[in-house]
Copies of this chain bind each other. A is one copy, B any other.
Amino acid sequence: MEFDLIELIRQRTTQPRDDVRLGIGDDAAVLAVPAGQELAVAIDTLVEGVHFPPGTAAADIGWKALAVNLSDLAAMGANPAWALLALTLPSADVAFVEGFAEGFAKLAQSHRLALVGGDTTRGPLTISVAVHGFVPPGKALTRAGARVGDAVLVTGTLGDAAAGLHALQQSLDDGDSRAGLREFLIGRLNLPTPRLSAGAALRGQASACVDISDGLLADLGHICVASGVGAEIDAALLPRSPALMALYDEASALQFALSGGDDYELCFSVPAQRLADVQADLSRLGCGVTKIGRIVEGAGVRVRSTDGEWLATDRPGWEHFA
């Protein structure tokens, strides 16, 4: 029954905020954007079998459905405030909804985000979340401001989520001594960390920013198109986790780092004179940050291999309808 499911989710995700004038339970929520703030809004959908494998834990799905949206706010430098949830389920599965709400609420509460509205319908498992955040007028990070000579940086490590998906799809012996490494990678796939504090710290510092959902080449490519520039990155500089390097050979790890989606790290450009400050600021927030290349004239993203050759990069990233 629709109202019980939404009520159950509401109970699990309570987050009092003064700017929520009227929350879940009417035809619409009524919200007050603080004076002197603009609103950043995004929507993203997860579909079972496309964005997560059947059998993924409900709590992980709830976390990830919110995380991929918060990652969009992070890429804009926005501070999260509110979310709407559209949950389509094959049946009124209370255990699933409880698990989902638990994962969703855990991430929401860590960012003081309030769930303000929702719709539960019957159908194939599909979750759309719309998120709302605040950003000072004119200060949103976009894809469009990269300039020739800017450094290109990324947060965290790349390729873990794609490797995690690969590891999930193998049927490996649970007793394997490397199970812990695989769990790390699968955790990076299922429980991504939206880089919200990093994104907020980059306001007024980064010249362009994007989150890596479709793979580094594809998403840095978006910055290049929007900014009218090209980019060169050095394969040797790509930050890759110990787990990725332990479980995969160099060629696979490089492929995951360049083209694997779902990492939800930030990729951004910074004018050279601000580079040291930005690196220091993000490090202070506990966010790893690595310079991987530079913005150049032209178009598209080129990758230099460790022996100095240009790599063929004909598989730019994950495209759902490719």
CA distance A71 to B27 in the complex (A): 9
So how many copies of this chain end up in the complex? 2
Any chain B CB within 8 A of the CB of A155?
Answer: no
CA distance A288 to B211 in the complex (A): 50
A26 and B124: CB pair below 8 A? no
B28 and A73: CB pair below 8 A? yes
What is the CB-to-nearest-CB distance from A15 to chain B, in angstroms, rounded to a whole number? 16
A122 and B30: CB pair below 8 A? no
Nearest 6 A-B pairs (CB), nearest first?
Answer: A47-B123, A92-B321, A28-B42, A86-B128, A27-B75, A128-B128
With contact pairs A50-B123, A84-B43 given, residues A38 and B30 touching in the complex (Cβ less than 8 Å): yes
What is the CB-to-nearest-CB distance from A138 to chain B, in angstroms, rounded to a whole number? 8
CA distance A254 to B131 in the complex (A): 41
Q: Which residues of B contact A91 (CB under 8 A)?
A: 321
A43 and B118: CB pair below 8 A? yes
A76 and B30: CB pair below 8 A? yes
Any chain B CB within 8 A of the CB of A143?
Answer: yes
B86 and A44: CB pair below 8 A? yes
Q: Which residues of B contact A73 (CB under 8 A)?
A: 27-28
Q: Which residues of B contact A128 (CB under 8 A)?
A: 43, 45, 86, 119, 128
**Known contacts A29-B42, A128-B128; can you find 15 more A-B pairs with CB under 8 A?**
A2-B320, A22-B140, A26-B142, A27-B42, A28-B41, A28-B72, A30-B135, A35-B35, A39-B39, A41-B130, A43-B118, A45-B123, A47-B121, A119-B128, A122-B321
What is the CB-to-nearest-CB distance from A118 to chain B, in angstroms, rounded to a whole number? 7
Tally of chain A residues near chain B (CB < 8 A): 74
With contact pairs A27-B76, A30-B38, A30-B140 given, residues A1 and B130 touching in the complex (Cβ less than 8 Å): no
A76 and B31: CB pair below 8 A? no
Any chain B CB within 8 A of the CB of A51?
Answer: yes
B130 and A84: CB pair below 8 A? yes
- Tell which of A75, A119, A124 has the most Cβ of chain B within 10 Å: A119
Residue of chain B at shortest CB distance from A93: B321
Q: Which residues of B contact A72 (CB under 8 A)?
A: 27-28
B41 and A122: CB pair below 8 A? no
Any chain B CB within 8 A of the CB of A49?
Answer: yes
What is the CB-to-nearest-CB distance from A68 to chain B, in angstroms, rounded to a whole number? 10
